[in-house]
């Protein structure tokens, strides 16, 4: 029997009648883009994070793009982020015309190292994007300290960390701006594309709202050049249903992580390390192994799907060679990409699934 790496359909099946009622309600409402369901979702998501405002977008990438534009990031500016992230973080910086500057990770948490951010700052630095990778918050207090000293905006890439906590505060409400993705396999997933920007700064919220919908204010008066980065009404309605389950789904992910931690305690692989400040929500459960490729092959032969997030850091992806960094520029991120392996992790995974995966890891 195969153990799948992700299973977004299981979540739909468990809420089928509620989701279908919400979708049919949108279909008969006649409003298909933005509208009351999206507005209600924005209020509910903002409240969940503890931010004053939330502005729904068409994807996590467009949320990052809007956040940077609202922070006045543009040509001539530099934005510091991590090489160990999904390429969208860097792409969003490039969409604004700014330059992405990378700083290596803390290998214990896989997140950007605040001391290395400090070293990457130049007079052109405008913002920092910490990524809460795999569902664990970056060291936000240290990052906020660096940002304060140098007058920089902090944009959280929380695409993998819905509901994660840093010293009791929820991500998305820690930096100046937070960005989330609702890609179907994220901890909170739409039935299509979606994203959201969170902030407690009313001016930034207003700017993001305007840029999301062609820079109009009021309608048909385009006071600045904007984008079509709007959320569909159907996704808003689906996300309202699913948001009510996010906390319990995160609890189930944390329980599965505990099972893996216990079952793999005596193995040769390194389990994820959780920082003292973290409430980790395990978007991914990522182990390190010196024999990662052999381990992966052995798991595949037993029907266990795994992932690698990511097989190369952004600066070594062919499309991003023009960032200007070669091999060796970020040795800690590069070493991680040779050893990391993401095991199956989702709320619907059973105890016996986890035991089967752990037994296969121990046997390889």
Ligand X SMILES: *Cc1c(COP(=O)(O)O)cnc(C)c1O
Give me the residue whose beta carbon is nearest to ligand X.
60
In the window 249-308, what residues touch ligand X (CB under 6 A)? none
Question: Which residue from 22, 45, 48, 61 is in contact with ligand X, where contact means CB under 6 A?
Answer: 61
Considering only the stretches 57-65, 110-118, 220-228, 254-262, report the one whose residues sit in contact with ligand X under the rule CB under 6 A: 57-65
Q: Please state whether beta strands 285-288 and 340-343 pair in parallel, antiparallel, or not at all (unpaired).
A: antiparallel
- Footprint (CB under 6 A) of ligand X, residues 166-205: 181, 183, 195
Q: Is 60 in the site for ligand X (CB under 6 A)?
A: yes
CA–CA gap between residue 153 and residue 130 (Å, rounded): 11
Examine residue 239 and tell whether it contacts ligand X (CB under 6 A): no
Per CB under 6 A, 88 contacts ligand X: yes
CA 40 vs CA 17, 36, 45, 181: distances in Å: 20, 6, 9, 18
**Residues with Cβ within 8 Å of residue 69, at least 6 apart in sequence:** 96, 207, 208, 211
Burial class of 294 by CB neighbour count within 10 A (0 to 12, 13 to 18, 19+): exposed
CB 176 within 8 A of CB 201: yes
Distances 25 to 22, 29, 57, 191 between C-alpha atoms, Å: 5, 6, 21, 16
**Residue 55 sits in the site that holds ligand X (CB under 6 A):** no
Compute how many residues bind ligand X; rule: CB under 6 A.
14
By CB under 6 A, name the one of 49, 68, 69, 86 that touches ligand X.
86
State which of residues 59, 187, 198, 250 lies at the interface with ligand X (CB under 6 A). Answer: 59
159 binds ligand X (CB under 6 A): yes
CA distance 202 to 208: 10
- Minimum separation from the CB atom of position 196 to ligand X (A): 10
Q: Does the protein bind ligand X through residue 111 (CB under 6 A)?
A: no
The whole-angstrom separation of Cα 142 and Cα 327 is 28
Q: Does 136 bind ligand X (CB under 6 A)?
A: no
Q: Which stretch binds ligand X (CB under 6 A): 47-55, 86-94, 272-280, 296-304?
A: 86-94
Please select the residue that binds ligand X; options are 85, 111, 125, 337, rule is CB under 6 A: 85
Taking the C-alpha atoms of residue 53 and residue 45, their distance in angstroms, rounded to an integer, is 9
For the four alpha carbons of 331, 335, 338 and 340, in that order, the dihedral sign comes to: negative
- Tokens encoding 110: 């896989």
Least distance from C-beta 129 to ligand X, angstroms? 9
Q: Applying CB under 6 A, does 110 fall inside the site for ligand X?
A: no
Binding site for ligand X (CB under 6 A): 59-61, 85-86, 88-89, 131, 157, 159-160, 181, 183, 195
């Amino acid at each position: 029997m195969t153990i799948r790496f992700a299973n977004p359909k299981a979540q739909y099946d468990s809420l089928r009648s509620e989701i279908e009622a919400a979708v049919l309600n949108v279909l008969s409402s006649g409003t298909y883009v933005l509208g009351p369901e999206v507005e209600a979702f924005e209020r509910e998501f903002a409240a969940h994070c503890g931010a004053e405002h939330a502005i729904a977008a068409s994807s996590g990438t467009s949320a990052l793009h809007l956040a940077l534009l609202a922070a006045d990031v543009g040509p001539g500016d530099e934005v510091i982020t991590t090489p160990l992230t999904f390429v969208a973080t860097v792409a969003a910086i490039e969409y604004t015309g700014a330059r992405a500057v990378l700083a290596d990770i803390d290998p214990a948490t896989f997140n950007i190292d605040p001391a290395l951010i400090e070293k990457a700052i130049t007079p052109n630095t405008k913002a920092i994007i910490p990524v809460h990778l795999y569902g664990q918050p970056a060291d936000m207090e240290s990052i906020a300290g660096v940002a304060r000293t140098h007058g920089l905006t902090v944009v959280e890439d929380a695409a993998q960390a819905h509901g994660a906590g840093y010293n009791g505060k929820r991500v998305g409400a820690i930096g100046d701006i937070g960005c989330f993705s609702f890609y179907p396999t994220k901890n909170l997933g739409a039935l299509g594309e979606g994203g959201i920007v969170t902030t407690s700064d009313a001016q930034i919220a207003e700017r993001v709202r305007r840029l999301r919908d062609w820079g109009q204010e009021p309608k048909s008066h385009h006071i600045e050049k904007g984008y079509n980065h709007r959320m569909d009404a159907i996704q808003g309605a689906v996300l309202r249903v699913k948001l009510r389950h996010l906390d319990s789904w995160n609890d189930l992910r944390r329980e599965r992580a505990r099972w893996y931690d216990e079952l793999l305690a005596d193995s040769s692989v390194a389990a994820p390390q959780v920082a003292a400040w973290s409430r980790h929500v395990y978007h991914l459960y990522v182990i390190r192994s010196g024999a990662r490729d052999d381990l992966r092959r052995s798991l595949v032969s037993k029907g266990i799907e795994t992932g690698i997030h990511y097989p190369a850091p952004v600066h070594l992806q062919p499309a991003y060679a023009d960032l200007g960094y070669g091999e060796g520029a970020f040795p800690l991120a590069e070493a991680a990409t040779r050893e990391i392996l993401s095991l199956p992790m989702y709320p619907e995974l059973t105890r016996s699934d986890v035991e089967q995966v752990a037994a296969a890891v121990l046997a390889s």
